[in-house]
């Protein structure tokens, strides 16, 4: 038995939800480029969960179900108010709140298909509300209730800021949600599948997935990209900054990918948005700096930008706090996690690989008083 480091190249599951073949990403066979340009996030949720695009009636029904389930149990809001939140990372708050949500759901441990679908709706609907409520409560502001007349993208920005977003903001945020929704067997999705393959419940699966997304090698990279842009500060400092990182063999956040070789097809959409939004908000230097960083990392290291790189300047331009970038990733990716969890349940076998043992050979036990 020989271990494959990081399970590289190992095919651990079948899926009908998304595919990455020759650097092309599809959701259920639809190219991500088409979905990014045309689809609403709700359409994508339907696609991932039902493996077909909805007709108008099906879409309206899903939107209605989501809107009806966006409010949080008062206990989740009260719990946020209990803690001193200044030093709590919003991903930790989200992880805890999702686990807590399970305590309020009478169907949490009911494993029938219909009950699992109802829980999927509840989680998809409530996660944006959790992120927005946390962001406000930690600033001493009251949470804003969702509006029945807004879609998920607009509602999230509305609940976060307390004012209705304009069309450009909604379009950009919707596109970001579409682009982040699913990505085959990435680390957090795999985590979710491993968890529920023991026939544990959906809340446990999503809580585990949030924990995996939080890390800076995965979803946490988008916050780190913004930290890098802020640290660099101006375009004339980029070369020195990067060369020092290269010398120290440090990773440049927002670059590299386990699967893509030529580049991440989502990055170009975010790059375009970054150019537009940074100009509109009077901060074009964030886009210009990002382009220069990309040029140097790709030409000197041959490593292309991934989805996290330009999403940082996009979210910053939307006026979103930097430590909310990864929770926003979760607002979108929960759709994919839920799709994979439902798929796992539908054809389950426990996921239990082997390990190559590299420790000492057989040893003789020595009693503690003789050691
Ligand atoms: C949504 C997402 O999760 S997208 C990924 C988000 N993560 C990041 O942006 C963090 C930065 N990137 C990375 O850490 C990695 O590229 C990962 C985690 C995405 C992929 O990791 P792996 O597939 O294990 O690649 P690995 O780390 O082995 O890299 C291969 C080589 O490229 C180098 N490399 C990979 N990414 C980077 C990077 N961002 N900066 C500098 N060098 C890099 C590695 O140092 C390694 O070089 P070596 O062979 O000389 O040791
Ligand atoms: O697939 C991966 O390894 C990481 C990624 O890009 C994602 O989860 O969107």
Residue (of 130, 112, 131) closest to 202 by Cα position: 112
Options 269, 308, 316, 340, the catalytic residue: 308
Q: How far apart are CA 341 and CA 335, in angstroms?
A: 10
Q: Which two tokens stand for residue 346?
A: 């539908």
DSSP state of 200: -
Q: Which two tokens stand for residue 248?
A: 């120290």
Provide the pLDDT confidence category of residue 295 given band limits of 50, 70 and 90: very high
The hierarchical CATH code for the domain 17-213+324-346 is 1.10.580.10
SS3 state of residue 137: helix
SS3 state of residue 21: strand
Q: Where in the chain is the domain with CATH 1.10.230.10?
A: 221-317
Q: How far apart are CA 258 and CA 264, in angstroms?
A: 10
pLDDT at 86 (0 to 100)? 78
Give the residue-averaged pLDDT of 163-187.
Answer: 97
Determine whether the shortest distance from the Cβ of 307 to ligand 2 is under 6 A.
yes
DSSP state of 27: E
Q: How far apart are CA 307 and CA 126, in angstroms?
A: 24
DSSP 81-108: HHS--TT--HHHHHHHHHHHHHHT-TTT
Give the residue-averaged pLDDT of 117-138.
Answer: 97
264 assigned to active site: no
Q: How far apart are CA 320 and CA 197, in angstroms?
A: 35
Provide the pLDDT confidence category of residue 1 given band limits of 50, 70 and 90: confident
pLDDT at 34 (0 to 100)? 98
The hierarchical CATH code for the domain 221-317 is 1.10.230.10
Q: How far apart are CA 182 and CA 171, in angstroms?
A: 19
Chain mean pLDDT for the chain: 97
CA of 264 to the centre of ligand 2 (A): 9
Q: Where in the chain is the domain with CATH 1.10.580.10?
A: 17-213+324-346
Nearest atom within ligand 1 for CA of residue 246 = 41
Neighbouring C-alpha atoms within 13 Å toward the C-beta of 145: 8
**pTM, to two decimals:** 0.98
CA of 194 to the centre of ligand 1 (A): 23
pLDDT per position as a tens digit, 325-335 = 999 999 999 99
pLDDT per position as a tens digit, 34-59 = 999 999 999 999 999 999 999 999 99
Q: Pocket of ligand 1, candidates 251, 261, 263: which has the most ligand atoms within 8 Å of its Cβ, to mutate?
A: 251
Ligand nearest to the CA of 303: 1
Contact call for residues 158 and 144 (beta carbons, < 8 A): yes
pLDDT at 237 (0 to 100)? 97
pLDDT at 87 (0 to 100)? 86
DSSP state of 167: H
DSSP state of 323: G
pLDDT at 84 over 80: no
């Amino acid at each position: 038995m020989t271990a494959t480091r990081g399970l590289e190249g190992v095919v651990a599951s079948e899926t009908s939800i998304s595919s990455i073949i020759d650097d092309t990403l599809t959701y259920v066979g639809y190219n991500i480029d088409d979905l990014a340009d045309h689809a609403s996030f709700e359409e994508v949720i339907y696609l991932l969960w039902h493996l077909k695009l909805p007709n108008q009636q099906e879409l309206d029904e899903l939107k209605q179900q989501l809107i009806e389930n966006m409010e949080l149990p008062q206990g989740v809001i009260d719990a946020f108010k209990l803690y001193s939140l200044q030093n709590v990372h919003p991903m930790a708050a989200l992880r805890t709140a999702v686990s807590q949500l399970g305590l309020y759901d009478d169907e949490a441990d009911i494993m029938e298909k219909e009950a699992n679908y109802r829980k999927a709706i509840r989680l998809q609907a409530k996660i944006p509300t959790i992120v927005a409520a946390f962001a406000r409560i930690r600033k001493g502001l009251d949470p804003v209730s969702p509006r029945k007349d807004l879609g998920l993208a607009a509602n999230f920005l509305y609940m976060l800021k307390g004012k209705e977003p304009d069309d450009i903001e909604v379009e950009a945020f919707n596109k970001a949600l579409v682009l982040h929704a699913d990505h085959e067997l990435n680390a957090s999705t795999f985590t979710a599948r491993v968890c529920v393959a023991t026939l544990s419940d959906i809340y446990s699966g999503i809580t585990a997935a949030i924990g995996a997304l939080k890390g800076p090698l995965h979803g946490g990279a988008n916050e780190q990209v913004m930290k890098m842009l802020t640290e660099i500060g101006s375009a004339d400092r980029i070369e020195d900054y990067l060369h020092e990182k290269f010398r120290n063999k440090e990773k440049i956040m927002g670059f590299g990918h386990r699967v893509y070789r030529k580049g991440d097809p989502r990055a170009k959409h975010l790059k375009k948005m970054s150019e537009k939004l940074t100009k509109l908000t009077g901060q074009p230097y964030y886009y210009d700096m990002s382009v220069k960083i990309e040029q140097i990392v790709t030409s000197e290291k041959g490593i292309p930008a991934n989805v996290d790189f330009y999403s940082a300047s996009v979210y910053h331009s939307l006026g979103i706090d930097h430590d909310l970038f990864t929770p926003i990733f979760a607002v979108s990716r929960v759709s994919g996690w839920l799709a994979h969890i439902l798929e796992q349940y539908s054809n389950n076998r426990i996921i239990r690989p082997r390990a190559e043992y590299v420790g000492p050979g057989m040893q003789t036990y020595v009693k503690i008083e003789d050691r």
